Chain A
Amino acid sequence: LPGDRDQPISVSADKASFNEKTGTALYSGNIVIQQGTIRIAADELVVTTDAKGTVITAVARGNPATFEQKTRPEYGPAVAEAQEVIYQAVEGFLTFNGKAKLKQEGASFQGASISYSLERGEIEAKGDKQNRVQLVFPPPPRESRISKKLGDSAP
């Protein structure tokens, strides 16, 4: 949801280590990250912050790491999974790397890497030699389809 990005990020994990010089925190074991309706589950998480402690990036890894976010109330949650989920907090961008899959509002995307803008809900999928991009869009609902015969002119 639009307000997600302004919520605090909460992290729970089995253990962590924090580098007091660089401000980097490495979490490991049963990690759950939540921010508003966003929920990411992973095995390992690295959070980097600037000198003032503001989050710059959060990189979650898992087999796979999973992502879920409520988009618009009338749709089900957007769900995704990948070996690596990179969250750029300032830009509000999520990048799913490694066997990336994303389902949102009935459409599904699959590729080597998928980028997802939390602000605009835009999705960009990239393939590579092994994983070509696959997109699947659901047909429009029956009632909004126009029943036409071949040769009929447009309404």
Chain B
Amino acid sequence: MDIRNVVSLSAGFLLLGAVGYYWGGFGKSPLSVAHVSATGLPDYEVTGIEGVRTNQSGQVVELFSAQSIRHYPESDRSEIRRPVMRFFEDGNERWELRAAQAVGLNDNRNISLNGKVQAETLGEGQSVSLETDMLEVDRDEQVLRTDSAVAIRSGNNILDSLGLHVDIRGRILELPAQVRGIYVLPSH
């Protein structure tokens, strides 16, 4: 076989390989600059946000406000600063939740409050307030949940627990572990 044929054949294979490498995507590195710039940035940021959520009959079920919300499309994740959430039932205020920041997932249906989380009941019934580090909020089900330590105050009484589950509509707080209660009595 003539040496010139061999040389031209290998040059051809080399060319084919180079084309495949760049167009065929064999060498695509996961952090290619073009790709990072598309995924790393939020698609919108809103400051001074205030929102109202209503049910099918137009009744207010939630008021929502925050200092800012920054949304990342790829992970459908929102970073929220200073959120305040107020839940209603049959038009009556039930709970208000506040925190330093939060992360919203699942189209902001699930909010994870963290940093100085405070919550309190509103309207009739016992006044209850609680403080914890982190609180998961299911906005559709109106359920609050945490595995962190919680300090609950009702009147002069204090309840501490490790973990908490609150069914806002059912008006029940479940304290799952290490429960301590202090009841202060009026003097006789």
Residues on B with C-beta less than 8 A from A126 are none
Q: Whose C-beta in chain B lies nearest to the C-beta of A11?
A: B181
Residues on A with C-beta less than 8 A from B181 are 9-13, 16, 25, 27, 47
Residues on B with C-beta less than 8 A from A13 are 179, 181
**Complex contact A18–B176 (CB within 8 A):** no
* A contacts with B, residue count (CB < 8 A): 32
* Closest Cβ–Cβ distance, residue B143 to chain A (whole Å): 14
Cα of A15 to Cα of B179 in the assembled complex, Å? 6
* Closest Cβ–Cβ distance, residue A25 to chain B (whole Å): 7
Decide if B154 is an interface residue (CB 8 Å cutoff). Answer: yes
**Complex contact B175–A20 (CB within 8 A):** no
Name the interface size band of chain B.
20 to 34
Cα of A132 to Cα of B130 in the assembled complex, Å? 49
Q: Contact check: which of B156, B176, B180 meets A53 at CB < 8 Å?
A: B156
Cα of A6 to Cα of B183 in the assembled complex, Å? 11
With contact pairs A18-B159, A19-B171, A20-B121 given, residues A9 and B182 touching in the complex (Cβ less than 8 Å):
yes
Q: Which residues B172-188 have CB closer than 8 A to chain A?
A: 172-188
Decide if A23 is an interface residue (CB 8 Å cutoff). Answer: yes
Q: CB within 8 Å of A: which residues of B?
A: 121, 125-128, 152, 154-157, 159, 161, 171-188
